[in-house]
Structure 1
């Protein structure tokens, strides 16, 4: 329900006529108006959610630069997170843009809002989607081309020796307290990894998990465990995701595999997360050519992994990462915009 106080029908009609006249005055440029001025009047002000993880943060800053410098928008970055941002967009129509919305957890209400015309899906932010599963280093995959699946890897505990017990293989778990710790533990049981000579290793934290991969790479040792993309660590260390050998079983996942008390988990691949840019109806209608950009702006996990790795090495902010990407990879982002807009962005950089 609108928070604007109700008006009489006469007041509404008067307000509509006033807004119409005002809109005509602003949207019709004078003969001397430059293309930039005309474009500003089309795009206007836009609020963009600066969500609180690295890939979403850098994407928000990329949008900030391209929308402001390329399309003349007046951009305001506002703090965001998945649930609060999408809920605010559904209920209040603000912010205008969620650059990297992981929608699996809120698919039902979000689809309903799109059907009602309140919100709109633009491009897939991540063309590959968010990816989870068990991974091994590429050098090990190259040396053992027979290892393609989780089942294949579990035939060779000797290739993934545990630091605690060299006679056992190791499967590295997700950080403590994360939901993926439960799903990885249940996958370990579903694949009967213990009976095949493996131990489930508690990595303790995200830093501990990343450190175990870095250590294995430095020593060219075997490593097997849970990870996800896009992330900076996969930009630094080339890893190969193992095929689960079975599709995602949503029913088994919800009934048992994703729960702490799961006595009989089933083999199931992890669901591929759908990641979209989401727009409010207001901006969909008012954004003009800027909306075309957001309908095209999509990049691969490999591209994001590499950029996040650079940001981690440089201790760079989202703004730093955005500027670096736009300066060094015009062949990617140039496909999202017209040549004229690309030249404006390059000139601004």
Structure 2
């Protein structure tokens, strides 16, 4: 087998007499990250850490202020994403120096107390005060129903809106937000609790999604929104009339929300260490016209917050130059003139950086499957977020992974199917084609994998989990599985028919998606994901049987319609517990004549749960052990095949070296116990990846590429409002992003 280039610039399998040995890459040491240039190079200035609450207006202002602080004053900056309360605690403790948008109305007493105690300093107004309301409807709803004007009119127009249990659904705030209690109290004060039921979203993004989906279908919607925000800018909405609050009254008593007061707040230490920054921020005046210009740029053109800040600084030069000294303005303008092309104009599409010369490196991210933000592709909402491709370009990625769900209903179900509804549904062919075409148009290579998603089957009458498929012994190992409900058992009376039908329908699905992959030019296709008891080509280990014949037939059927690289990716447990899994896993890729060795690589790096930040050097010791014990032997069994981590990553958590999924989906809170102004959790994630890249370089890039898990198909705004709020395996907008960017650049050169 020879490796050649496809029309999209990646490798495609071509017929030949035999495998061509891969050249040994030149080993290059991982570069040391360069510090951000400082106005006073000796001694270096301490970083200024900005709070980031995730709202559009906060992120726009933060991006603008950080660009001025970095380029005009020479200070490096960092940003901490989180909810208002943890950010407030971070600022009061000194871990955060500036919050560009404190919602004073929601946390008035807490901030006033902090300022009176000298624990925080108010530097002035952040932006123009804007509205918020729990009774927002799309304007077309009012136009279709002329009598609908006030909150009380909802009773007369109850049948217009979607209902749950006979009550009108009102999308409210997240329970962690103070407006959640306020909205509930307003409903009761207006006497509407007998006709309105509050529906709490799972995230800020879920709230916006509910509105976008209704708008896209032209359907009625009622809920809480504020302006400016991603959910309201660019949308035609109407606020149902509420009585104004009289002096001293609160919205809970039955009146409208007052205009939101926002302020810039700083830690008092900033006045001592960086008085010029304090003076600059005191002059900040983000007026309504300039703010709406930025939000319009953000919403209509799909710009990133960095793009928007650069555009705004160029477009509003006469505004911000009044806030800084002339020499500072000159430095900022000079930096703007030298800004990189991909950030200078958002109208130009981002392109995945191509390899140089004959280099065929895999510099990849994995978008997961049809869940989270990636599923928006099915709704037709922002199906091709341009700033997602700018993220790929920013980190020098050139490959993109997509997981396609297959389904069975339970342990007795022998029919592998595509399903198009439920928690994790199969991508429709149309949605996959849109994604693949968009990726190719942006210069990216595409990897497609099949994966059983048995979420419903886990709790079915006859339960089964993905990893159990193919194991003849499972009825003896899982108390929930009775022998009569486990046709994988070798002595089950329906064993032969069941196994034959399962593999035939599985092969049919593999052929369907490999035909789509061929038609769309997908460069690499995987037959399955982390089903080691199913993907066994030899007997041994814990099992007396194997599925070599069935797997060989599947490979042959797929090869007949697909000419790209073919692989399977195996859970790392099959390497660390080789005696249990046996030779059927050890020799899988060679036995089947596959083109690439794939591993799902979530190795445990240490034996005890760490409570402090582990250094790169400490983590390199762990990776050296893993290479010696597992990866070098794997390569030796597959000398002519590239080894890829087709799923790889660690959550930003201090405990991640011990438990890769530690803190998963919990809210991110800034911690800095080692006092270096980096978030400890993010620092560990970055150190793990850096240590791996260093060790892989020492082993001449034995692992030829990594598909970093968890990078959902989402715009910057959606990401910040959704996944970016939580601990997650992604590197996007974290310390680890810079680690990946530098290494991916190295291997591309």
TM-score, normalized by the shorter chain, greater than 0.5: yes
Residue 226 of structure 1 deviates from its aligned partner by 1.8
- Matched residue of 1:49: which SS? strand
Distance 1:48 1:326 in 2: 21
Distance 1:234 1:182 in 2: 22
Aligned residue in 1 for 2:243 = 245
Q: Does 1:64 align with 2:47?
A: no
Aligned partners of 1:188 and 1:200 also within 8 Å = no
Question: How does 1:1-349 map onto structure 2 within 5 Å?
Answer: 45-55=46-56, 56-70=58-72, 72-81=73-82, 82-91=84-93, 93-104=94-105, 106-128=107-129, 131-138=132-139, 149-151=150-152, 153-154=153-154, 157=157, 161-164=160-163, 170-174=168-172, 177=175, 179=177, 180-193=179-192, 199-200=196-197, 202=199, 204-205=201-202, 206-218=204-216, 222-247=220-245, 257=252, 266-299=253-286, 307=294, 311=298, 317-330=304-317, 332-338=319-325, 341-349=328-336
Distance 2:49 2:249 in 1: 35
Residue 294 of structure 1 deviates from its aligned partner by 0.6
Residue 330 of structure 1 deviates from its aligned partner by 3.6
Distance 1:183 1:288 in 2: 39
Aligned partners of 1:173 and 1:203 also within 8 Å = yes
- Superposed CA offset, 1:237-260 (max 9, x none): 13233442131797777xxx5xxx
Aligned partners of 1:132 and 1:272 also within 8 Å = no
Residue 214 of structure 1 deviates from its aligned partner by 2.7
Distance 1:69 1:190 in 2: 51
How has the CA–CA distance of structure 1 residues 114 and 177 changed in structure 2, closer, same or farther, with 3 Å as cutoff?
A: closer
- Matched residue of 1:66: which SS? helix
How has the CA–CA distance of structure 1 residues 68 and 176 changed in structure 2, closer, same or farther, with 3 Å as cutoff?
A: closer
RMSD of aligned alpha carbons: 4.2
Residue 130 of structure 1 deviates from its aligned partner by 6.7
Aligned residue in 2 for 1:31 = none
Residue 220 of structure 1 deviates from its aligned partner by 5.1
Distance 1:37 1:209 in 2: 43
How has the CA–CA distance of structure 1 residues 251 and 37 changed in structure 2, closer, same or farther, with 3 Å as cutoff?
A: closer
Aligned partners of 1:44 and 1:287 also within 8 Å = no
Aligned length: 293
Residue 132 of structure 1 deviates from its aligned partner by 3.7
How has the CA–CA distance of structure 1 residues 207 and 102 changed in structure 2, closer, same or farther, with 3 Å as cutoff?
A: closer
> Which has a greater percent of helix?
1
- Matched residue of 1:240: which SS? strand
Distance 1:59 1:338 in 2: 19
Distance 1:142 1:337 in 2: 47
Residue 79 of structure 1 deviates from its aligned partner by 2.0
TM-score when normalising by structure 2: 0.33
Aligned partners of 1:113 and 1:119 also within 8 Å = yes
How has the CA–CA distance of structure 1 residues 175 and 122 changed in structure 2, closer, same or farther, with 3 Å as cutoff?
A: closer
- Matched residue of 1:347: which SS? helix
- Matched residue of 1:68: which SS? helix
Residue 53 of structure 1 deviates from its aligned partner by 0.8
Distance 2:109 2:176 in 1: 24
Aligned partners of 2:71 and 2:332 also within 8 Å = yes
Residue 296 of structure 1 deviates from its aligned partner by 2.5
Residue 228 of structure 1 deviates from its aligned partner by 2.3
Aligned partners of 1:176 and 1:204 also within 8 Å = yes
Aligned partners of 1:229 and 1:301 also within 8 Å = no
TM-score when normalising by structure 1: 0.64
Distance 1:227 1:272 in 2: 13
Name stretches of at least 5 consecutive residues in structure 2 with no aligned partner.
1-37, 337-749
Name stretches of at least 5 consecutive residues in structure 1 with no aligned partner.
1-35, 258-265
Is the radius of gyration larger for structure 1 or structure 2?
Answer: 2
Residue 50 of structure 1 deviates from its aligned partner by 3.6
Distance 1:340 1:138 in 2: 48
- Matched residue of 1:270: which SS? coil
Residue 213 of structure 1 deviates from its aligned partner by 2.8
Distance 1:178 1:83 in 2: 9
How has the CA–CA distance of structure 1 residues 89 and 226 changed in structure 2, closer, same or farther, with 3 Å as cutoff?
A: closer
- Superposed CA offset, 1:69-104 (max 9, x none): 22x23132142543334334434x443222222344
Residue 275 of structure 1 deviates from its aligned partner by 2.2
